[in-house]
Amino acid sequence: MPPPKGSDILLEARNVTAMITPSVPNIPVIVLELEDGREFTLYNVPFEIVEALNKIERQKDEPSLPGMRETVFDILIDMRNFFEELGKRLEYVVIDEIDYNTYLYTAKASFNLGGIYMMRRMVPSHAIFLARLFDKPIYVSKRLVDEQESFENEE
């Protein structure tokens, strides 16, 4: 179910790529390829999220190497069947806010609790992880994409 129409135009993410940039210094990023052909990039995301998103994309259970420590994201991926109800309740994720003092984005996750809708404000990378874990749509505010493009073109 797409998010409700508001004053903001929302673009659906068609693909999600999580990676560590090859440039020095290496920066963990999530790149969302949007329905209009543009990209929206989240910089300096937690490294664990990059690894977890890539693990989801590989779609195979990969046991951890002996002696390796796992993150909560690894456990959620491995045990997602135990969280089916959460996945059924999650409808979509939308990145539609930025704090101009900190330059941090905020996402909202929409949950359907049997006809009662609950929105939770989240760290965008975590919201994207949930959406990918349960194969739910991800949207980004066109306004934020336009602002990011404008800022990058100024540099």
Handedness of CA 97, 122, 45, 100 (dihedral sign): positive
Give the pLDDT of residue 58: 85
The packing angle between helices 47-58 and 124-133, to 10°, is 20
Which of these, 105, 107, 94, lies nearest to 147 by C-alpha position? 105
Lowest mean pLDDT among 4-8, 79-83, 144-148: 4-8
Classify residue 69 by burial, with Cβ atoms within 10 Å: 0-12, 13-18, 19+.
exposed
Q: Residue 29 domain-assigned?
A: yes
22-42: average pLDDT: 94
Lowest mean pLDDT among 43-52, 78-87, 91-100, 136-145: 78-87
The CATH number for 104's domain is 3.10.690.10
Q: Residue 99 domain-assigned?
A: yes
Condensed to tens digits (0 to 9), the pLDDT of residues 111-125 reads 999 999 999 999 999
pTM of the shown model: 0.88
pLDDT > 90 in the chain, percent? 70
Domain residue limits at 116? 10-154
| Mean pLDDT value across the chain | 90
Strand order in the sheet with 104-112: 39-43, 28-34, 10-20, 138-141, 90-99, 104-112, 117-122
